[in-house]
Structure 1
Amino acid sequence: MPTFSDDPFSYIIIAILAIGALYVLYYQIRVRTRGIETYATVTSIIEHESADLDTVVKRTYDVHIVYRNQANETVEAILSNPGGAFTVGQRIRIRYIEKHPELPVCIDSEV
């Protein structure tokens, strides 16, 4: 029976996942340090439930927001599972980069 170390495909999958995780971390840091700061309004909150093999229910949230970018255009975006408590109508501070205004990062939910 093959083991994990005998299967090079497993190493490829792990490498791809690690590269993906590093890119997400890099993007978050880049937006937080170089992004354009503005305020957004929470328009809706969507809850998702999933269960693992032990039937432990996990809840995640998509926080839908709307804001105006530097060109005064309205942008709708989703903060996926940003942590913290949000309410519809709440104003929050975000940062975004011009190249990807649809992928903002929440800076402060206590505005």
Structure 2
Amino acid sequence: MKKEKIIKVGIMSKEAYKKRTIAIAKGEYIPKKDEPKVWFESLQSMAQVLSSQNQDLLKVIIEKQPQSLKELEELTGRAKPNLSRTLKTLEQYGIVELARVNNALV
């Protein structure tokens, strides 16, 4: 069973995030260990990504540990295209990790 991890999130404008990223790449800024690893542009965008429906999805993933998108579809009753989009969004924020095994998303 994979260990649950706590993810610190922050709110930062796209422009400020871009400047921060450039400063990190140039070595001008070193992020502190306790700084958020996941950034959202607004509370609204965070609320959309971490909606109650998506939190329920994450609970199913943690508790049932499905081995395929098809299995997750069966466990949640959500359509495969919807799940795929949601999981890719969650992956962009570092909340889940996706992998392809035998051309299937897991």
Q: TM-score under structure 1 normalisation?
A: 0.22
Asked which structure has the greater CA Rg, the reply is 1
> What is the TM-score with the length of structure 2 in the denominator?
0.23
